[in-house]
């Protein structure tokens, strides 16, 4: 079965109305702004975690690792959830509101986990000479440098993982709404969605670092991001979007699989022949 035939068979999407296009533009703008606030939050947490970790290098490494871990977990979990809903933007809106609430919670959670770390660390008091109460070198005890930093990273993860998990769920949900079963629409739509969100993230990084934190402070910047998330969620939830098509998994029988594989092999052979002709032409040109 050729790709053109496949496109013809599954291309059943109707042209959206003017109202639907307007709503979709609003949803796309909300997704861009969501990326903006996500990086505002990340930059603020790099600053906050540097006070906990003691150095900027370890703070950046920890925040980036935890941030992307949360995004990956959210993508994986809600990527499966999208198969069972025809109103993904409703769940998307709930996640945006939940993210805003968790952002505020994380601000108050950090002092708690930091004090917890302090209480645990206090069980191995240090003397002025760098030795513990028993006279042994503290670095050889339970709280060695590696273990100490690992515990701090774990405490930061406790604060960061919940909001980043809900952030990660937004991409598959909004993709579920926009991506239709129409041939090239899948890659094209996902690419544009990710690009728009990344543009918002890039702008958020610059604005936060150069304007928000110097002028308003770290916590206030996080509160602004939280308010933005809640506002986006409330706006999207209040709108009535066209229901998405039900999830359909396309399966091919053995003959169709073999036909696709044969086409791929033919394309690879043609590419190799083109490369050989090009190489031969260049060699002849050099020695002509």
Q: Tens digit of pLDDT for each residue in 135-190?
A: 444 444 445 677 777 888 888 899 999 999 999 999 999 988 887 544 444 445 67
Q: What is the mean pLDDT of residues 279-284?
A: 60
- CB atoms near residue 239 (< 10 Å): 14
* pLDDT reading at 220 higher than 70: yes
Q: What is the mean pLDDT of residues 224-248?
A: 86
Round to whole Å and give the CA distance between 236 and 238.
5
Query: Hey, what are 150's tokens?
Result: 């690992």
Q: Which helix (H) or strand (E) holds 91?
A: helix 88-121
* Angle made by CA atoms 23, 27, 30, in degrees to the nearest 5: 140
Percent of the chain with pLDDT over 70: 68
What pLDDT, on the 0 to 100 scale, is given for residue 82? 82
Round to whole Å and give the CA distance between 235 and 203.
22
For the entire predicted model, the pTM comes to 0.73
Query: Hey, what are 242's tokens?
Result: 């066209």
The per-residue pLDDT of the chain, averaged, comes to: 78
Residue 143 phi, psi dihedral angles, 5° rounding: -95, 65
Helix (H, G, I), strand (E, B) or coil at 247: coil
Residues 6+ apart with CB under 8 A from 254: none
Q: What is the largest CA-CA distance in the chain?
A: 84
């Amino acid at each position: 079965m050729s790709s053109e035939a496949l496109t013809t068979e599954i291309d059943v999407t109707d042209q959206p109305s003017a109202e639907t296009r307007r709503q979709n533009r609003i949803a796309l703008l909300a997704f861009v702004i969501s990326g903006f606030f996500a990086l505002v939050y990340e930059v603020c947490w790099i600053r906050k975690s540097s006070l906990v970790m003691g150095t900027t290098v370890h703070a950046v490494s920890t925040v980036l690792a935890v941030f992307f871990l949360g995004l990956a977990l959210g993508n994986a979990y809600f990527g499966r959830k999208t198969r069972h809903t025809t109103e993904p933007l409703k769940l998307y809106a709930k996640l945006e509101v939940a993210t805003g609430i968790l952002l505020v919670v994380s601000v108050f959670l950090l002092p708690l986990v930091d004090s917890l770390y302090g209480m645990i660390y206090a069980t191995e008091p240090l003397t002025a000479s760098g030795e513990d109460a028993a006279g042994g070198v503290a670095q050889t005890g339970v709280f060695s440098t590696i273990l100490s930093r690992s515990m701090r990273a774990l405490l930061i993860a406790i604060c960061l993982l919940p909001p980043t998990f809900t952030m990660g769920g937004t991409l598959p949900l909004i993709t579920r709404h926009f991506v239709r079963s129409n041939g090239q629409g899948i890659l094209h739509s996902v690419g544009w969605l990710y690009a728009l969100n990344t543009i918002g993230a890039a702008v958020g990084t610059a604005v936060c670092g150069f304007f928000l934190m110097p002028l308003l402070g770290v916590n206030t910047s996080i509160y602004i991001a939280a308010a933005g998330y809640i506002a986006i969620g409330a706006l999207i939830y209040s709108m009535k979007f066209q229901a998405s098509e039900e999830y359909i998994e396309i399966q091919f029988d053995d003959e169709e699989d073999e036909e696709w594989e044969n086409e791929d092999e033919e394309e690879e052979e043609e590419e190799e022949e083109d490369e050989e002709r090009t190489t031969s032409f260049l060699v002849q040109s050099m020695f002509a």
